[in-house]
Structure 1
Amino acid sequence: MATKKKYKKSDGKEAYRLWYEFLKRALADKKVRVNKAFYKEWGDVENTHFRIFWERMGDKLLASPHVELASKQSVKSNVAVSVPMSLTPTQAANELRELLIQHYEDIQYTPKLERSFALAEGSEMKVSTYRAYLRTYDIWQKLIANGNKGASGKELLKEVRLFYLARTEKYGRTNRKVEGIPATLLNGMTTNPLTGKQVNYSGEEKEAIRAIKRYLDMANKTIANVAIGKFPN
């Protein structure tokens, strides 16, 4: 009897939301070549809110297709086979391959591979980290749109800090939980850029600048991977 696979948080809805949002950025970047054929089933990503997309595709994305022994009852679109337990897995696999090749020829059937949108196998992701990458990318794009194409890492760091501080200020007195500034971006911060008040965080700001550059680099790498159908990195 098949058991239902348990999904880690990173395998769930938020991970796919981030994938979806990174794909939107890839599609918006004319320098990025997106494999649109791979994402055909996702529909009009550029003009569709993730909530609508998830209502249509969520169950399919979280499905876990795998090979199982079929019951004696015939099932539509499945081939029931009997595997003698005296065969080794290798022997059984070889015989099954030959059997299916001959069977498909007999019934003149050409199998069609279903597209898999599983998260990259063997990867571990922390969704909060990828949210930080995405926010950093969006803020960088905003700087470019505002004519600051040559913005320094220090300028980008300031804007990212402002984003997080503004959200914390906005929702601080509500029940809504929001993420604060990532710890690596707090290094060397002596002044709150939102209020102008003095603060005292250890470390050196150059460490935070290196971190924000790494965030932007990881965001661009993620967009490049998403364009070819891979998420996360």
Structure 2
Amino acid sequence: MDAGEIKRTNGEHEFATLDRSDVYVGKILALRADEVSMPGGGQARREVVEHLGAVAVVALDDDDQVVLIHQYRYPLGRRLWELPAGLLDVAGEEPLRTAQRELEEEAGLVAAEWSVLVDIASSPGFTDQCERVFLARSLSEVERPAAVGDEEADLVIDRVPLTKAIRMVFAGEIINAPAVAGLLAAQEAVSRPAVTRPADAEWPDRPTRFASRGVR
């Protein structure tokens, strides 16, 4: 092998963590810097954002209308069309229960039927953030909790036909990742319900490292 040539390991290399240090620890995420062993025999720095993880809900009524939320997102500087969603920020709460709570708090709805549509790794090149998107059907209206946070006070709630929401995705009017993936998956699930998974299906990539820090 010529000097400087990297030996190919064909998917067999173990990317061991040689060193780890925190750069920043906040309320919903942390940034750490790891030194990782690389296939060529050297090591590389990998900056990783730890995240709590989140859930989102495609709530479909009997007429196949889907609930959308118009919400301001500060990093992008504008309001986005999204699904009812929330962080996994309650210790010990299962993802399904988080999804049920968020649907009630944000949209004033409960659902009798729940299943898993898709799991999403948002940007696995630098963060462990993952979201689970549920499908909720057989909807009933309930009163939204009186106490809401600052962001929730500005929410706009709408229902649109699923077919229109899909057109909004392809028109670039819906760009939120869980919404895009969830809506496209829901379109398939409407015609083929068997493609969905049970609401308590295993979620091997659910983020746990930041939650284990106990930051609140």
Report if TM-score (shorter chain) is over 0.5: no
Larger Rg: 1
**Structure ranking higher in strand proportion:** 2
TM-score (norm 1): 0.27
Instruction: With a CA cutoff of 8 Å and minimum separation of 6, indicate the structure with the bigger relative contact order.
Output: 1
TM-score (norm 2): 0.29
**Structure ranking higher in helix proportion:** 1
